[in-house]
Every structure is written in structure tokens, then in C-alpha cells.
Structure 1
Amino acid sequence: MAESVVAFLLNELSAFLHDQITNLGGGLKQEIQFIRDELGSMRAFLRDAEAKEDDVSELQEWIRQVREVAYDTEDVLDEFIMRFSRYHPDGFCSRARKIYCSIKNIRARRDISSKIRSIKSRVEYISARHKRYQSIYSISKGGSSYVEVENVESLIRGNAILLEDANLVGIAEPKRELILQILDDSPTLKVVSVVGMGGLGKTTLVKRVYEDTTVKRQFQIHAWLTISQTFHMKAALKDLIQQLYNEIGEPVPQQVESMDGDKLRAFVKDFLQEKRYIIVLDDLWKLDSWEAIKYAFPESNCGSRITITTRITDTASGSCTKSNDCLQKMKFLSSEESWTLFCNITFGDNCCPPHLEDISRRILKKCEGLPLAIISISGVLALKKKSKLEEWEMILRSLGGEMEGIGKLERVKKILFLSYNDLPFFLQSCLLYMSTYPEDFKITANELIKQWIAEGFILEREGMTIVEVAMGYLNELINRSLIQVAEFGYDGSIRYCRIHDILREIILIKSREQNLVTVSTGGDCSRFPNNIRRLAIHGFIEDYHEYNRFRHLRSLIIFTHTNPLFESSLSKLLSGALKLLTVLHLEGAELKSIPDEVFRLFHLRYLNLSNTSVESVPKSIGKLQNLEYLNLIGSNVMELPICILKLRKLRELLVYHQGNYSKNYEIRGFKAPREIGRLRSLQVLYSIDIDNDKIVRDIAKFTQLRELSITKLSREDGKELCSSLGKLTNLRKLYLISIKEDEILDLNHPISPIPQFLQVLELRGRLEKVPRWVHSLQCLSIIYMFGSRLREDPLESLQGLPNLVDIVLNKAYEGKKLYFKAGGFQKLKRLEVTRLQQLKSVTVEKGALPYLQFLVIADCNLVNELPWGIENLNKLQCLELYDMDNEFIMSLQDKGSEEYQKVAGIPEILIANWIDGKWDKRYL
């Protein structure tokens, strides 16, 4: 982690030297260059030193010093920028102000120069120790410490035995599936990869299959190779050759010892030719390792098998490239399986004493179906007295502390930390940052990556936006089984993610060690460490008097705060010398106005005031010149001041309110100041009210926009709007909302060029016809149409779009029939048909909607009949019916009825009626 702190600082130092060249004196510039060069020379040493720090207290202290000097350097740089790089408008008063500031800042310059010299002295001392430790501890530049990693990896092998000896439950079905894949009729070489999070029991599963007598007797040759992070091809091939010759009871030929990699691969390939073999490659981390060794395995027609275990999805899928290859994902244990395993180990049978059941289930919930965690925690509890409930309560409260000690839970930490240690430095910071979120929190993926960006964790990459790079980071952490997807969108996008409770406990430990994040669940702030960098509050803090603890604070993140004293308490905290704050997250806080202290935060990049009661934004918002992200969704703000135009770095502006009204809802935007088009950096803009022609024309100036929502559109805006949309070539999401329900959205004007990357389109308002340009949106995956009241069947215009996965037609059609033709909507997963009052029938031809999974029919006059051909929807998982006649519902429940037979194969059917202002729902 110290490596990541230094790496990010080196980027900042280079940018600082480039941007502040005119403000730096010669001596100050040289000292900063010296600090950059010395830290740069230490960076290669840091990762290897961190691998040894747990066992060497001197290295641990040295790494702490490196981290702290990097943090302090960052603070001094930002203090310099704040004092000497402020924006001043032209004019006599501003020139007078500049003269005054320059005189005032002489003392400030001396103060900063003194701090830089002090940091330089510390860096010189640290650098000298670096050179000494490099020889003392035999740490090379680059590469992992073989011995350290090897010791941890031996724990994994030991835990595989532990899992096996524990009579692991829940393995029978995955074992059966894996045996079926290995023993199928395919005569060619087949790769079967088993992938999943560390501790899920991948090795145990494959070991049981490998040693199963049914499998054993099907193969002439058997071998098990542990690949792991320390993979060395020559060593692995020699180990394999030794096992192969053990199989035939002969000594290994002497010439093998002197062979290079190519000859060893050829030797193995020749040995295995025309033999039916099964070889396990356990704990494969990198696809490069597979690429290096796979050529040793001949592609004969003997029905041979390679079985791989890995934590990394890309490695698993990259090794399964042929049509007959197979990827099997390990699943977490169910609640029942977890309880059985827990009781077997803790109590020796499946009987838990009644007085321990509640605390046992609460402890078990932390494990979330992870076998290694269940076994380890059960092993600890098995040694506790069953009569002392307080000892069990203490284990629940101090689970993280248990992992910091020695014993079974410390082993869990080391095994899961192998995945962390394998991450590049920039992903380590992103993962540890997840500790800011409360336990079991459903994290909005978009919000998470915006915070990563504001924190400076995302490295720019040529040809990609910073958001695209950040999304790549999230996908990579998911790929490595460190972050779980909690909910996908129908288009395959990640809507919500989460982190396993046990892994969260582990990253809380590491984050606290590295002073990356301090998490408070309530209480006195005097318990906080000194010089905290990021503070996440999951409960009310009553005491803010020790302001020195917050001088270095970069982020303040508060979750769902409802204390009525919160606003005054927040003001006290913000007034306590928080000059360097870059992230302020106050979603759901009990706020009616934005504290004045917020507008003194020169470095603030991220400000989230969503779902607060804030009613207005003062003109002092213009002081936040570095603000990139402003979120006022769900607040009471309806207008922005003209000073918002000073925020030239603003990339995302989110100001709208979505109100619930009966069975429908409206979207309310904000009144924008004139000249809003001056915010040229905007990439996301939700939702701007159109109240004059100038606003419509200004939209054309947002050439960086990727997401846009416009409200209060009138018919007269149509032609100018279509002209402006033609300038937004980067657009991915577009929401157009009319000023009133009966107002026509006049969109039948040419848009040139077509926004070819548009993926989401939502239209709210009357349409005379589906806009002609919609037919050309080849990337469109989602289209929602509300109140369109079309007379022509919209399906004719939409069925040719190749990537549609989600359609909503809400009061969008006034015809009597909807007809889904064979071959249409080949990727559609979800269809919602709502409030089509004239609709009499829906027909689905065989071959239409082949992948439809969710069908919603609400408030439609379908004469109480199901869509004709619904039985052809073989993939349908859920049918939701709203406001249907009771007689029809009764016919669905009658197992002898024709209607019942049509839906008998659908796993989930929901029936709902609007009663007393809410939906009364039940499942058939």
C-alpha cells in the first residue's frame, strides 16, 4: 500500500512541477525534484519490503515513514496550490487584491519552503535506510519474495486438507457436475476450469474429483501441479516429469536436469503422446502461466483432461477457448448448508444449544457461505465454553481483531490477502477504499467509481475517458473475485456491487494499518488515530473539539445521517481547519442548507448532497473551482445560480427530483442560468429545464456529454433540439421529457450525425410517430416510452434494432393489437406493457422474443387474457400482472384451466392490485 501512496504522489509531483513552474522559485523547484527522484528510486523496493514487513519490525517502521512522508508531501503541495494558484477575475479591485495577497503570501511562501526542506531531510534519511535494508534483507528490485509467498501458499494446501477432513457439506452437487464434465464423451483434449473466491473450496472440490475411483480408473496417467503466484515454468515441468515417471515406476532420466524450458515441454509432450491423462493445475493466477505450459500437453484424441483452479475469471475463461472446454463457477454455501457445517464443527453434530442459536446465527451470517471462514470460526468457537454466552458475544464484536492475532482466523486473512497482494498498486487503493461502506451495504457502482476518481486513484489512459478507466478497475476487481456484483442491469451493466463481510473485515484491518480510511460507528473522536486521511462515519459523532486530528482530512463520508443536531455538528467539523478536503459525501443527511464552510474547501472535487432537504445553492458555489462532481438528486433545489458557470472543471451535474404520484411519477429538473453552455467539461447533465430557445441551442456546446436529461420540452423546441443533439457525438444516454403530459415531443427532424453510441433512450410525452432516427440506433439497448400515445404499432420501428434488451411501453400506444413477429427482438430480456387502455390482444409468434425473461403487463384492457403464444417464451422467468380481473386470476390458479397450462412452466408469477394508494402484491 505504501507503494501506491508513493506512486500516486510521483504522478502529482510531476504534474505539480509542470503546472506550477511560474510560481516556484529555483531552490524550491530543485528540492521538490530531489524528493520526487528519491521516492521514485525507492518505489521498486517498496512492494517487496511490504511482503516482509509482518515479520521484520524495522521494515514495518521504515514503510510507515515512507508512507507518512508521502502523505505530508501531498499536503504541502496542495497547500501551495491553494495559496498561490487561486483564480482572480480581472478589474481594478482584483488587481488590488492580488497585490495584497502577494504581500500576505511572503510569509506563507517561507512557511511552505521550510516544510519542503524538512521533508527533504526526512527523505534523505529514509533513502539511506532504504539502501542499507536492501542489502541486509536481500530484497531485489521488482518481483515477489519467493519464500514469503511460498509460506502463505502452503497454508492454502493445508486448508484444502482441513476442508476435506471437516466433512465439507454442499460439495456433492458440484462434484457430480465436475465429474460429468471430465468423463463426457469428448475424445479431444478438454480443459475444465473451476473459478471462485479464495476460501470457497476449489482445491478441495477438484481434489475429491481427482481422487474419485470412478475418475481414477478412466485415465492412464495422473498428475497434480500447484502453479500459484510463484510459478516457474522449468520447476513446474520438472515436478510434472517426476510425477509422470512415478506413475510408471521408473527413475527420471538424468538429462532432464539440464534441459531448458522448450526441451522440457517437448519431453513432456512426447511422454504424454497417445496416453489418456488427467492433469490438475491448481491455483493458476495468470493466463501467461497457462500460455507458457499448455504446449506441453498434446492434442491427441485419447480423451485427456486438464483441470484448472483459479480465483480469476479471465484466467479461467482464457484457458477455456475450445467449444468443448468448460468453466464451472464455485458457489457460496446456502444458509442451510452453512448451518449444517457450522454445527458439525462447533458442536460435533447438528444440534446447537437453544441459548446459543441466536448468537451462532449472527456469527455465521458474517461468513456469508464462505466455507473456509465457517470452518475457521467454528474451530475457534468449538474451544469456547458453551455456558459462557459473553465469550461468544466477544467473538462477534471482535471478529476483525481475531484475524489480526495468530491462529485459525489469522489463516483466513493470509489466504484472502494473497488476492490483495497480487493486485497492482492502483487497484489496492480502490479495494481498500471499499472499507468506507457499512457492512451489507449495496454500493451503487456509478457512485463508487466517481469517488475513486475524486480521490485520485484512477490513472489516465490514452484513448479512454477517466470514467471508462475507473469502470475497468471495477471490472478487474470483480474478475479477481474480490468484489461481488449485487445487481446487473438488463443490458449487462453493473448497477450495484458489494463486498463479502469477511473480506470487508480484512480490508478494514489493512486500511487502518495504512491510514487510508478511518471508520467510525459512533463515539468520541478522541479515539481516532492522529492525522487521519479519510473519515467514514456510520453513526453520530458528538465530539469534534480535537480539530488537529482532522487537519490532513481528504474525505468525509457520512451515511444516512438523521440526527437533528447533525447540521450544526457538521459546521463545527468543517470549520476545524479542513482545508484539504476533496470528497464530501452527505447523502441522506439531515440538512436544510449547505454549510457556509463547504465553500471554503478550495480542493473539493466531489460533493454529494443527494436526498437531503437542501433548498437552494448559494452564489458562493463559484468558489469551488476544482469541483468535478455535484449531486443534488432528490433535494429541493429547483434553480442554480449564475456563479455555477465558474466551475469550469465540473464533469457531472445532477439536479433532479423524481416524485411518486399514484401509479405514475414525474421528473422535475432545475432552472439553469443563461450561458449554461460555458460548462464545456460536462459529461453528465441531469435534468435541465428548457425555458427558452437559448438553452436548447446551448446544449450543442456540451460536446463531451455522455448522459443528458432534458425536462419541460415543448413542441416548438423540437427542430432546434434535434439540431443540437447532432453535435453530441459522445452521447450514451438520453432522456427527453415534455412540459406536460399532452405536449407533443416533435422529434421527427433529422439528427446529423446520429449519436451512434446511444445505448439508453427515454421519451416522456406525446409522439406523432416513432422518430425516424431511432431506426438507426444500432447500439440502443434500452428504450422507455411514456405517454407517447402512438397510433401506429411501435414494434414495427423497434423490432429491427439488434441490441435491444429492455422495452417499456407506458401509455405509449393507442392501437388494439401488439404483434411480435418471428425473428423479432432477438436479444430482448425484459418487456413492460403498461396503461395501454385500447389494447385488446398481444400475439407472440414462435421464434419471437427467444430470450425474454421478464414480462410485465399492467392496467391494460386485454379482455382478461394472456398474450397469445406466451407458451412459446421458453426463457421466461417472471410474469407480473397488475390490475387484472379477479375472475381471470382465479382461472390462472385453476390447474385444470387452459390459462394455467400456458403459464405452468414460468417459475415466478406476481399478481398485484392497486388498493388504498399502494400495490397489494401476492405470488401464485
Structure 2
Amino acid sequence: MAAYGASVSLKNTIQRLLQSSRISLVPPSLQILQSANESMCRLQKVMLILDGTSCRKIRAKVNDLDERIKEVVWEFEDLLESLFTDQILPQLERSSRGVRDGLSFSVDLQSLRQSVDCFVERLEVMEVEYFTELVNMPEEEGELLSSRIDFGGINSNMVGLSDEFERVKDYLINDRGNRLLVNGMAGVGKTTLVKKVFDDPLIQRRFENRAWIKVGRKCESGEILRCILAQVDPNTRDQILTQADDNDDRILVGLLKERLKDKKCLIVFDDVWEWDTRVMYNLPEENVRILITNRLRIDELNNLATKGTLRLLNIEESMKLLGERVFGEKGFPSDLEKLGEKIAYKCEGLPLMIVTVAELLSKEDMTQPYWTEVVEKQQNSVFVEAYNQISEVLFPNYDYLPQYFKMFFLYVGAFPPYSDIEIHNLFDRLSAEGFLEPIGEQTLEDFMVECLVVLAHKYHLDSDYACIHVGSTCVRKKLVRSSFCMFYKVVMTL
């Protein structure tokens, strides 16, 4: 569990001791607990600052410190619970069974004073260290402009999602809007789909100019404008790509409007993490159409563009993609077809996973015994290696989750794979283990539901199941495990 989750658990443990009507704390136990609680609250506030930092920032050192904080907090909570249990159990044994409901317990934490002082001291040091790391987090290195516009290596051979392809193409050809946002979880095939649209002959005839920009986690507005200019004006391409980035954005915008005057242009912004809305407003709406791909639902973009979410592949599409990648257009041989279906099912409909598994399978024995092992063995080397390979793509989705959501993500991921999760069951477990800490006037249940709704909506963990109402909030009755299970496996392999 992340450090923030560990801190929530410890704070709830301390609060239960302080507020229990059945526990009498022998002086100075109250002051000892309050000291630990106050120190934990201060560190927790500093940890929450991370949520406000840009996804451009590299969090490696902060993550390392997060692990150390987690271990320190866990160690102290174990010590506290152990001391509490050692004092409560003897009092239970001495009490008669008939009056158990009226029991009260005396707890003396004097022996814990030295450990609390040490714990508080360690937290204070870590608080300063954490804040220092936050302030000094380095940024991602920017890419060369030439690499941002190099889309030649992107494979546009797509299996399935033909309806989605036709809808995107129809949107552009028939002028159904100026901007279309294609979002979906990492590895679901957004770039492949958009590249196929970008290369389509009808699209090429429709748009005299086309530009492709790989945005990523860090891309300045000036870089974006230069990338577009380099592709719509080949005569100045080399100059634009190599010159220093010292032009005023207004000059670049003026040049761009001049080049695009009376010419239809399609611009693709691929893998957008954060968005500067000024870029969108600076592009002429009358003749420019924009396609955007992103893995997170960004509020600024949602308000500016028509939205479409890319789904996972169904089992038939998954089998087709896996079979073609391993055996070519002919697909599976008859003796491996059933096993191929089971392997495809384990890929959970994620094209990136299917392609990665196919590449690994193609290097191994094409025999029934080996494929049976891949299907049945829990930690088969093919899937272990596949998770390792796709982690670079999927892990940032977890890394940049807000602190609250990391805690929920990891906890929900601990449920059995491919199973549904009942809301009330999840709530009971989280409450019992002390992992719920509402914000403001929220109840525990409302807080949990809000976290699940955001995870489901923003991070593509929703499903087609019927909704139920908890309080005034509508949530899914069950959370389908597919994409969530994939993310969790990747996180736990790191």
C-alpha cells in the first residue's frame, strides 16, 4: 500500500483508540498518541502536495521516499497494535462472559513513549526530505521536434474496432465538428486507430495538409506550433525544426494562419497528458480539424471537443489479432485454436498485451504441451515477461494517480482476478481496515463512492453494468475487472 494509504490507516487506528468509549487511557497515554497523530497529519499534508505537481515531473526519488515512509508507518502501527492487544487480552480473560457487552479496558502506553519520540523524529526528517524532493523534482526531457512528427513507424494495421474507425472517418469527412477526442486506457489502440484514419485515402484527399504531433507528458505550445508549421510548409521544414525556440508564439500563430489560409488541414495531437487550451484557440476553426488521443480524461479537453472512448477488443477480435501476429493471415492451426482462445482471453482485450504475448509466443515451441503450460501456469514466463515489457507504457497511469486513488487502486486490485466487486463488500472491507478518510463533510460511504466514480470515469475502469444509487450518487453496481486487473498486475511486477 502506498505511504498515503498507510498514513490513513495509522491515523484511523489512533483515532479509534482516542475516541473509544470502552478504552480508558492511562496518563500520559493520551499525549503520546496525540503527538504521533499530529506528526502524521503534518507529513500527510506534505504528501498531498504531490497531487498538484505536473505530470512533466519525474517522480522516481519521491517514489523511493514514499516506500521508506510506508515502511516506517507500518512498523509503528504494528508496534502500537501489538502493545494494545497485549494489554487488552489479559483483561478479557479475567472478565466474566456474562458482562462482556459492558466491558471497559485500561490501556497504558507509557512504554511506547520512546518509540513514539523516535517515530515522530523520523517523520519530521522525512517531511523535510519529502518537501525538498517535491520542490526539486526534475522535468521530463523534451523530445527533438523531428521525433515528435516522425509517425512513419506507427503500425496502422488494425484488427477489430471497424465501427469506431468508420465513425471517426465520418466525423472528419462530413464536417460533424472541429475537434474529436479519442480516449481510452494505455495500450488500447488509440494511436493505431488514428494513424489508420490519418493514412486513409479519403482523408488524404479531403485534407490538403495533414500534421501529426506526439505530445506526451511534456510539450510546450511553441513546440506544437513549430511541429505543425514544419509539416504544412515543407519549404521551411528544416529551418523550423532546427532553429532555436525563441520565436514569440504570436509570430508562429501568424505564420500558421497564413500557411493554412483557404486550405483544409487535419492535425493529430497524439498522447496528450496535459493541455494548453491556447493552442486550440489559436488554430483557425473554419478549415482545421483536430484529432486528439489521450489516456486520461482531461476536463479542459472534454469541454472543447466531441468525445469518444475506445473499447477493449472482444474475444473474437482478440483471437484474430493474436492468431495473425503469431501465424500470419491464416491464423491458428486447428490443434492450437482452443488454447489460443484461452491465451487471448488472458490478455483481457488489450491490444498492446496481445501483440506483446504474440511476439513472445512466436519465439517458443508451437506445441500443445507448451501452450497448455502458458494457459494453466499461474506465473508463466510468457505473461510475466509481457507484463514487464508493457510496464513502461502502463505504469505512468498509476504513478500519476492522486494519493487517494492509489490507495483504492491497490486495494481493489487485491480482489481475485476476473471477478466482480460488490460495492457494499468493498466498503465494509475498506472501513474495517481503516483505509477510508473522507474529505470535509462527506460520509465514509460517499467518499468511497466518489473515488470509485472518478477511477471509473477518468481512468477507464467502468463497465456496461447497471447503475445503482448510493445516497445521491449513481455508481456501477459491479466493477468489471478486465482493464483494472491488467493495471494492477503491471504495478505489482515493478
Query: Normalising by the residue count of structure 1, what TM-score does the alignment of the two structures yield?
Result: 0.44
1:504 alignment partner, one of 461, 485, 488: 485
1:336 counterpart SS class: helix
| TM-aligned CA deviation for residue 437 of structure 1 | 2.1
| TM-aligned CA deviation for residue 79 of structure 1 | 6.2
| TM-aligned CA deviation for residue 401 of structure 1 | 6.2
Aligned to 1:174: 164
Q: Distance in 2 between matches of 1:176 and 1:433?
A: 39
C-alpha distance after superposition, 1:450-501 (max 9, x if no partner): 5445544444233544333322211211123442324124997522211216
Q: Quick check: 1:224 aligned with 2:215? A: no
2:332 alignment partner, one of 333, 352, 375: 352
Q: Name the aligned partner's letter for residue 65 of structure 1.
A: R
Judged with a 3 Å threshold, the aligned counterparts in structure 2 of structure 1 residues 214 and 124 are, in CA distance, closer, same or farther, namely: same
Q: Distance in 1 between matches of 2:58 and 2:3?
A: 9
Query: Normalising by the residue count of structure 2, what TM-score does the alignment of the two structures yield?
Result: 0.76
Aligned to 2:457: 479
2:189 alignment partner, one of 196, 201, 208: 201
Assess if the C-alpha contact under 8 Å between 2:312 and 2:349 holds in 1.
yes
2:369 alignment partner, one of 369, 389, 409: 389
Judged with a 3 Å threshold, the aligned counterparts in structure 2 of structure 1 residues 466 and 290 are, in CA distance, closer, same or farther, namely: farther
Q: Quick check: 1:377 aligned with 2:357? A: yes
Aligned to 2:112: 112
Assess if the C-alpha contact under 8 Å between 2:230 and 2:238 holds in 1.
no
Identity %: 21
| TM-aligned CA deviation for residue 203 of structure 1 | 0.5
2:345 counterpart SS class: helix
Judged with a 3 Å threshold, the aligned counterparts in structure 2 of structure 1 residues 336 and 298 are, in CA distance, closer, same or farther, namely: same
Assess if the C-alpha contact under 8 Å between 1:193 and 1:319 holds in 2.
no
Q: Distance in 2 between matches of 1:348 and 1:175?
A: 23
Aligned to 1:416: 394
Assess if the C-alpha contact under 8 Å between 1:225 and 1:236 holds in 2.
yes
Q: Name the aligned partner's letter for residue 438 of structure 1.
A: P
Judged with a 3 Å threshold, the aligned counterparts in structure 2 of structure 1 residues 512 and 473 are, in CA distance, closer, same or farther, namely: same
Q: Quick check: 1:294 aligned with 2:272? A: no
C-alpha distance after superposition, 1:843-867 (max 9, x if no partner): xxxxxxxxxxxxxxxxxxxxxxxxx
2:419 alignment partner, one of 433, 438, 441: 441
Q: How many residues align?
A: 468
| TM-aligned CA deviation for residue 279 of structure 1 | 0.8
| TM-aligned CA deviation for residue 168 of structure 1 | 2.9
**Residue correspondence of structure 1 range 463-862 to structure 2 within 5 A:** 463-489=441-467, 493-500=475-482, 503-508=484-489, 510-511=491-492
Q: Distance in 2 between matches of 1:416 and 1:255?
A: 34
Gaps of 5+ in 2: 20-24, 92-98
Q: Quick check: 1:336 aligned with 2:322? A: no
Q: Quick check: 1:308 aligned with 2:292? A: yes
1:227 counterpart SS class: strand
Aligned to 1:590: none
Assess if the C-alpha contact under 8 Å between 1:44 and 1:142 holds in 2.
no
User: Greater strand share, 1 or 2?
Assistant: 1
Assess if the C-alpha contact under 8 Å between 1:4 and 1:429 holds in 2.
yes
C-alpha distance after superposition, 1:535-576 (max 9, x if no partner): xxxxxxxxxxxxxxxxxxxxxxxxxxxxxxxxxxxxxxxxxx
| TM-aligned CA deviation for residue 271 of structure 1 | 5.0
| TM-aligned CA deviation for residue 267 of structure 1 | 5.6
2:71 alignment partner, one of 30, 43, 68: 68
User: Greater helix share, 1 or 2?
Assistant: 2
Q: Distance in 2 between matches of 1:463 and 1:475?
A: 18
Aligned to 2:94: none
Q: Quick check: 1:367 aligned with 2:375? A: no
Assess if the C-alpha contact under 8 Å between 1:340 and 1:350 holds in 2.
no
**Residue correspondence of structure 1 range 234-313 to structure 2 within 5 A:** 234-246=222-234, 251-252=239-240, 257-259=245-247, 268-269=256-257, 272-286=260-274, 289=275, 291-300=277-286, 302=287, 304-313=288-297
2:245 counterpart SS class: helix
Q: Name the aligned partner's letter for residue 426 of structure 2.
A: L
Q: Distance in 2 between matches of 1:50 and 1:511?
A: 20
Q: Name the aligned partner's letter for residue 332 of structure 1.
A: L
| TM-aligned CA deviation for residue 64 of structure 1 | 3.6
Aligned to 1:852: none
Gaps of 5+ in 1: 54-58, 87-92, 514-924
Judged with a 3 Å threshold, the aligned counterparts in structure 2 of structure 1 residues 185 and 171 are, in CA distance, closer, same or farther, namely: same
Q: Name the aligned partner's letter for residue 293 of structure 1.
A: V
Measured on the aligned residues, the alpha-carbon RMSD in Å equals: 4.6
Assess if the C-alpha contact under 8 Å between 1:384 and 1:392 holds in 2.
no
Aligned to 1:911: none
Q: Distance in 1 between matches of 2:127 and 2:338?
A: 54
Judged with a 3 Å threshold, the aligned counterparts in structure 2 of structure 1 residues 312 and 140 are, in CA distance, closer, same or farther, namely: closer
| TM-aligned CA deviation for residue 340 of structure 1 | 1.8
Aligned to 2:22: none
C-alpha distance after superposition, 1:5-24 (max 9, x if no partner): 36536865996899699854
| TM-aligned CA deviation for residue 349 of structure 1 | 4.0
Assess if the C-alpha contact under 8 Å between 1:9 and 1:70 holds in 2.
no
Judged with a 3 Å threshold, the aligned counterparts in structure 2 of structure 1 residues 298 and 437 are, in CA distance, closer, same or farther, namely: same
Q: Distance in 2 between matches of 1:499 and 1:144?
A: 35
Q: Name the aligned partner's letter for residue 444 of structure 1.
A: E
Aligned to 1:849: none
Q: Distance in 2 between matches of 1:64 and 1:400?
A: 28
2:135 counterpart SS class: coil
| TM-aligned CA deviation for residue 381 of structure 1 | 0.7
2:454 counterpart SS class: helix
Q: Name the aligned partner's letter for residue 327 of structure 2.
A: F
Q: Name the aligned partner's letter for residue 146 of structure 1.
A: E
Q: Distance in 2 between matches of 1:402 and 1:150?
A: 32
Q: Quick check: 1:52 aligned with 2:73? A: no
| TM-aligned CA deviation for residue 329 of structure 1 | 2.9
Assess if the C-alpha contact under 8 Å between 2:187 and 2:352 holds in 1.
yes
| TM-aligned CA deviation for residue 393 of structure 1 | 0.9
2:419 counterpart SS class: coil
Q: Name the aligned partner's letter for residue 469 of structure 1.
A: F
Q: Distance in 1 between matches of 2:138 and 2:379?
A: 29
Judged with a 3 Å threshold, the aligned counterparts in structure 2 of structure 1 residues 458 and 238 are, in CA distance, closer, same or farther, namely: farther
**Structure ID, larger Rg:** 1
Q: Distance in 2 between matches of 1:436 and 1:477?
A: 16
Q: Name the aligned partner's letter for residue 67 of structure 1.
A: K
